[in-house]
Amino acid sequence: MIERGYEELMQDVLDRQATPEQTAELHHWLAANPAGQARFEELEALFWSLGEVREVAAPTVLKEGIMRALRARAPAASPAPTRSRRPGFVLRPAFMFVAGLAAGAISYGALTNLPAWPPGENPAAGSMMPSPGAAPGSKVIRRSWSVGSSRVEAISWQRAGAPVVAFRIHGETSLEIEYPAETLAIRAISQTRAGASQVRSEPGRVLISATDRSEFELELEPGGPPLPLHVTLRAGSSVVGGDLPLEIPR
C-alpha cells in the first residue's frame, strides 16, 4: 500500500506538475521502496499507453460545414431565430422558428447534434440519429418515401404531451408538409442535422429544400382531431407522397 502523499506525488511527477525538489524527493523515496517503484512503473505504463493515442485529422469538410452554417444563419431576409428555452425540451442547437410568426418567412438551416432516431430499420445506426424521447406507451409511427436517389424517412411520436414529427432527408429534395391549420399549429421547427437547406413555413404548409443529408423536427400543437400530415416529396420531375399519422395525446 502506497502512502497517499507519495501516490499523489507520483502522479504529479508524471503529470509534469511537480517541482524539481518534489521530483528529487520522489526518486529518493522510490530508490528505497520496491513497492513504490512497482506502483510508479505501473503508472508510467498507463501514461505511456494514453500517450500512444494519436490525434485524428478532422474531417476535411469540417470548416466548410461550419462556415456554411455561419453564412446561412443571418441572411438579411431571415427572421432572427428563436431558441427554445423551455425546460425539459431536449435542445438541439438548431434554428427554431415559432410557426405562428414564421408565415412566409424563409430561413436557412444550421446544424446540431441529434436526438436518436428510433432503433431498428435504421440504415445509419451509430450516427447521431434521433431519439424520439417518446413517452412510455406512446407509439412511434414511421413512414418513408423514395424517389430517384432521394429519400425521406419520417417518424411521429409524442413528447411531453405533444406530437412531434421528424424528417430525415437524403439527397437533393424538395419536401412539402401540409397540415390542417385550423386544427394544428406548429410550435417550432428545428434543423437537427446540418445540411444545406432552406425552410419556408406558412400556415398549413412547410416547405423544405435540401441538397444533402438533413434532419428536421417539428413540434406540433394540436387543437382538434388527429388528422395526419400530408407529405410530398419532389426530386426533379418526380413526385411521391403520402400521409404521416400523428400520435395525438389522449
Partner 1 sequence: MALTTVHKVDDDALVTRALSGDTQAFGELVDGYGRVVFNLALRMVGNSEDAHDLTQVTFVKAFEKLDSFDRRSRFFSWLYRIALNESLNWLKRRKRSGELDENLESGQPGPDEVAAASQEEALVQSALMDLTPEYREVIVLRHFQDLSHREIGAVLQLPEKTVKSRLHSARERLAIALRKRGYARS
Interface positions with partner 1 (CB under 8 A):
7-8, 11-12, 15-17, 42-43, 45-59, 62-63, 65-67, 69-71, 73, 90-91, 93, 110-116, 118-119, 125-128, 131-133, 193-194
- Pairwise CA distance, residues 105 & 86, whole Å: 23
Closer to partner 1 by CB, 48 or 183: give it.
48
Least distance from partner 1 to the Cβ atom of residue 85, Å: 14
Could you tell me where the beta strands, DSSP code E, fall in the chain?
96-97, 105-108, 141-147, 150-159, 162-170, 173-178, 184-193, 197-202, 205-210, 214-222, 229-235, 238-244
Closer to partner 1 by CB, 35 or 46: give it.
46
**Residue 101 in contact with residue 185, Cβ under 8 Å?**
no
Residue 65, C-alpha cell as written in the block = 460545414
Least distance from partner 1 to the Cβ atom of residue 54, Å: 6
Closer to partner 1 by CB, 42 or 202: give it.
42
Question: What per-residue string of b and e applies to 158-167 under the rule 16 or more CB within 10 Å gives b?
Answer: bbeebbbbbb
Least distance from partner 1 to the Cβ atom of residue 32, Å: 23
Least distance from partner 1 to the Cβ atom of residue 82, Å: 12
44 three-class SS: helix
Burial tier of 79 (Cβ tally within 10 Å: 0-12, 13-18, 19+): middle
Closer to partner 1 by CB, 45 or 160: give it.
45
Least distance from partner 1 to the Cβ atom of residue 240, Å: 28
Least distance from partner 1 to the Cβ atom of residue 188, Å: 17
Closer to partner 1 by CB, 43 or 105: give it.
43
Least distance from partner 1 to the Cβ atom of residue 205, Å: 28
Closer to partner 1 by CB, 32 or 56: give it.
56
Closer to partner 1 by CB, 72 or 188: give it.
72
- Pairwise CA distance, residues 202 & 185, whole Å: 10
Distances (CA, A) of 43 to 18, 29, 89, 149, 196: 15, 16, 43, 54, 48
138 three-class SS: coil
